Amino acid sequence: MTNTIADIETSDMILVTGSNTTENHPVLSSFVKRAALKGKKLYLVDPRRVKLADYADKWLRPSPGTDIAWINGMMHVIIKEDLHDKTFIENRTENFEALKNTVEKYTPEYVESITGIKADDLIEVARQFAKAPVATILYCMGITQHTCGTNNVKSLANLSLLCGHLGKPGGGVNPLRGQNNVQGACDMGGLPNVFTAYQPVTNDDARTKLETAWKVTGMSATPGLPVTEMIQKAYEGTLKSLFIIGENPLVSDPDLNHARKALANLEFFVVQDIFQTETTQMADVVLPAVCFAEKDGTFSNTERRVQRVRKAVEPPGEARQDWEIICEIATRMGYKMSYENSHDIFKEIASVTPSYAGITWDRIEKIGIHWPCPTQSHEGTPILHTTQFTRGRGLFHAIEHSPPAEVPDEQYPYILTTGRVLYHYHTGTMTMKTDGLNMLSPECFVEISSGDAQKLGLDTGAMVDVSSRRGKISAKLKVSSKAVDGTVFIPFHFAKAAANELTNAKLDPTAKIPEFKVCAIKIEPVTA
């Protein structure tokens, strides 16, 4: 996030897209709802009529996979009506003319033909966004989980740059992280091409610094594989072993039939987790780790705030700290790795991570600090890009709409999109151990509009088979006002009717993220 969570309430106009905020980020959504109740403008752009639509000034419904088109359409209106921030563009950006030329053809009428969003509605939202003294954009995986996900994000950045809504309170482009410490995992180099603080593995200076800190030589300058490519390499037989920590890909990965075959093809497979999962059941070795309440350390949340986590209870059985397990494996492999405790580890993090350099255990004893925090006299950075961008000037990207990798046809006439429900977390590894949550959300469902249900001659509770070109599941139908004709929603939490048996494993060429949010399916009543 370029801005903070609290900052949302100071915005004059909030644009939420690709985010079922009330169910996926219920605490953060309270800031959005409060802002709306105080009279701040709220616009929702989403293929489903999610709960936040009840608070919005207007809900715009795009066809899944058409985000670039409607964002370009908004920019077309803003430029045509001379509402863009010329001073900001002149002083702080570059490549504006290329953007202007690209969006010229995205008239509201043309955008309506692609997205289904009414031209007048698009014009209204564009004007409100541009005229607001300050406006914020909130987005989540409904924007990123596409074959054009990277370009979707760049398009939202274009929109914010165009109106000068970056670098000030209440503005910004703000991704809502899907899990509590995924920001921290990325900050720590949990990506295949960077060290901590996004220092490229190809950077000679970064490697030299870390080689000195870790007393090693010859660290590789070759980026590793993203997880989605690891699975394919395992399927092909070129990746022989895999170590998974705290993840359950046999529910969360796309095209599960393919993923299952890939993991079965490994010569050696290790899983480190806190509970038995569908994935641990395939492992050669399972290493029992501890949960959040059984450890000390830090979490870095969606607003880049680094916060202390404190041990509350003792771990059960032979469960051990994740870092202790990793250190012992490294030591047995020939590199002696040892730390006294989590505090000791954090000192090393600060010493090799420029954006964390000024953060100490004592400084975050009570209140967290937003990175970047380069020195101990620095207060942290709640708002990014206040005077300049990381690269100097903000770069406009001229981007054309591209369709999803798979669209409905006569054989598979519906669009499937997937996501979460309020009561379960990711693959249910933890939440499905809780009786109360299982009572509230006991099983998978197929959310469909009343119009589509009538066409099928089915109603809520009917068992249906849902098929794609990759697999088939059976689940109960749920006729819902959230759904719109032609689009079906299935939560991905439930292994017994895993939505990801159906989803498409086609990847964004840059981020390598799968297209979870769009694939073609058919629905048929279950026959005895």
Same domain? 432 vs 509: yes
Same domain? 146 vs 208: no
Same domain? 137 vs 187: no
Same domain? 125 vs 239: no
For 142-169, the pLDDT digits (tens) are 999 999 999 999 999 999 999 999 999 9
Cα(383)–Cα(168) distance, rounded to whole angstroms?
A: 7
**pLDDT (0 to 100) of residue 366:** 94
Q: How confident is the model at residue 409 (pLDDT cuts 50, 70, 90)?
A: very high
**Please, which residues have CB within 8 angstroms of residue 153's CB and are 6 or more apart in sequence?**
139, 143, 144, 173, 175
Residue 383 lies in a domain: no
pLDDT at residue 12 is higher than 90? yes
**Once rounded to an integer, what is the mean pLDDT over residues 223-237?**
95
* Residue type at 260 in one-letter notation: R
For residue 217, the domain's CATH number is 3.40.50.740
Task: Look at residues 308, 337, 370 and tell me which one is the last residue of a structural domain.
Answer: 370
**pLDDT (0 to 100) of residue 527:** 79
Domain limits for position 134: 6-176
**pLDDT (0 to 100) of residue 178:** 82
Same domain? 22 vs 144: yes
Cα(275)–Cα(454) distance, rounded to whole angstroms?
A: 42
Residue 426 lies in a domain: yes
Q: Which of 115-124, 236-245, 505-514 has the lowest mean pLDDT?
A: 505-514
Residue 394 lies in a domain: no
Same domain? 250 vs 340: yes
Tokens encoding 359: 């953060």
pLDDT at residue 463 is higher than 90? yes
Residue 387 lies in a domain: no
Task: Look at residues 351, 370, 389 and tell me which one is the last residue of a structural domain.
Answer: 370
Percent of the chain at pLDDT > 90 equals 96
Tokens encoding 267: 């010569």
Same domain? 315 vs 459: no
- Radius of gyration of the chain from its Cα atoms, rounded to whole angstroms: 24
Same domain? 205 vs 130: no
Residue 356 lies in a domain: yes
pLDDT at residue 249 is higher than 70? yes
Q: What per-residue string of b and e applies to 481-500 under the rule 16 or more CB within 10 Å gives b? A: ebbbebbbbbbbbbbebbbb
Cα(188)–Cα(262) distance, rounded to whole angstroms?
A: 28
Task: Look at residues 151, 176, 201 and tell me which one is the last residue of a structural domain.
Answer: 176
Same domain? 59 vs 102: yes
Residue 110 lies in a domain: yes
**Once rounded to an integer, what is the mean pLDDT over residues 347-356?**
96
Residue 408 lies in a domain: no
For 252-293, the pLDDT digits (tens) are 999 999 999 999 999 999 999 999 999 999 999 999 999 999
For residue 513, the domain's CATH number is 2.40.40.20
Q: How many CB atoms lie within 10 A of CB 238?
A: 8
Residue 357 lies in a domain: yes
For residue 43, the domain's CATH number is 3.40.228.10
Q: What is the mean pLDDT of the chain?
A: 95
pLDDT at residue 528 is higher than 80? no
β-bridge partners, 14: 42, 136
pTM: 0.94
Cα(263)–Cα(244) distance, rounded to whole angstroms?
A: 11
- Stated length of the chain: 528
Same domain? 200 vs 242: yes
Q: Give me the DSSP letters along 463-504.
A: EEEEE-SS-EEEEEEEE-TT--TTEEEEES--GGG-GGGTSE
* Residue type at 473 in one-letter notation: I
**pLDDT (0 to 100) of residue 426:** 85
For 321-339, the pLDDT digits (tens) are 999 999 999 999 999 999 9
Same domain? 224 vs 244: yes
Number of independent structural domains in the chain: 3
**pLDDT (0 to 100) of residue 184:** 95
Same domain? 129 vs 192: no
